[in-house]
Amino acid sequence: MSPGTGTSCLRLLRAVYDALRAHGEHTYPHECCGVLFGRFIHSDLARNEPAGWTVEAAVPAGNTRTDSAHNRYHIAPAELVKIERQARSQGLDIAGFYHSHPDHPAQWSTTDFQEAHWLGCCYVITAVEQGKATITNSFSLAGLTEEDKRFEQETIQVTDPAPANSAILSNLSARAESA
């Protein structure tokens, strides 16, 4: 199975999950946005584990929307290129993107769908109600072409890190809080 072609599970380290939700709270009442770094893990039938991304880091990005930042987001292309190079330098791929929905459900919108183009990646949405993160959902952008793309909801599994990752995650949390 390859990214975005069936039932999948998004695995997030606890610190990454907490940081992306805190980012949404910090930018409220505007949408936050960022990029997720990770590795795609193929299904393991012997262990009954579905395929999906294992996310190891999140990078907060600037929301460059000036016309409607309360319900839209945009990551500047130059910033996205810089972030993609950062992922590669860490031996990781862009696993997906995250953003918040201030005072709206954690479900993809028509605009989210129209502006999603990274097939096989996950799109994580956190509902932030009255400044407090409530529900976080993930959707894999499935399909082989732009014409047959579709969002498929995926399970989020929050995991605790191995002790060696704790310093990296502390830096990530500090970056998200300052963004």
Q: Specify if 51 maps to a domain.
A: yes
Q: Tell me if residue 174 falls in helix, strand or coil.
A: helix
Q: Specify if 160 maps to a domain.
A: yes
Q: Specify if 2 maps to a domain.
A: no
Could you tell me which residues are beta bridge partners of residue 38? 55, 93
Q: Specify if 91 maps to a domain.
A: yes
Q: How many domains does the chain have?
A: 1
pTM: 0.84
User: Are the beta carbons of 168 and 22 closer than 8 angstroms?
Assistant: no
Instruction: Please give the Cα distance from 48 to 58 (Å, whole number).
Output: 27
Closest CA to 28 of 89, 103, 107: 103
CATH number at residue 57: 3.40.140.10
Q: Specify if 4 maps to a domain.
A: no
Per-residue pLDDT at 167: 45
48, 109, 147, 167 from 98: Cα distances, Å: 27, 14, 23, 22
| pLDDT in single tens digits along all 179 residues of the chain | 344 444 689 999 999 999 999 999 999 999 999 999 999 988 776 776 778 999 999 999 999 998 888 889 999 999 999 999 999 999 999 999 999 999 999 999 999 999 999 999 999 999 999 999 999 999 999 999 999 999 999 999 999 876 554 444 444 445 545 55
84, 96, 115, 122, 129 from 3: Cα distances, Å: 18, 11, 19, 9, 31
Per-residue pLDDT at 39: 95
Give the structural domain span for 50. 9-178
Q: Specify if 60 maps to a domain.
A: yes
Q: What angle do CA 19, 6, 31 make, to 5 degrees?
A: 30
User: Are the beta carbons of 30 and 104 closer than 8 angstroms?
Assistant: no
Per-residue pLDDT at 114: 96
User: Are the beta carbons of 15 and 161 closer than 8 angstroms?
Assistant: yes
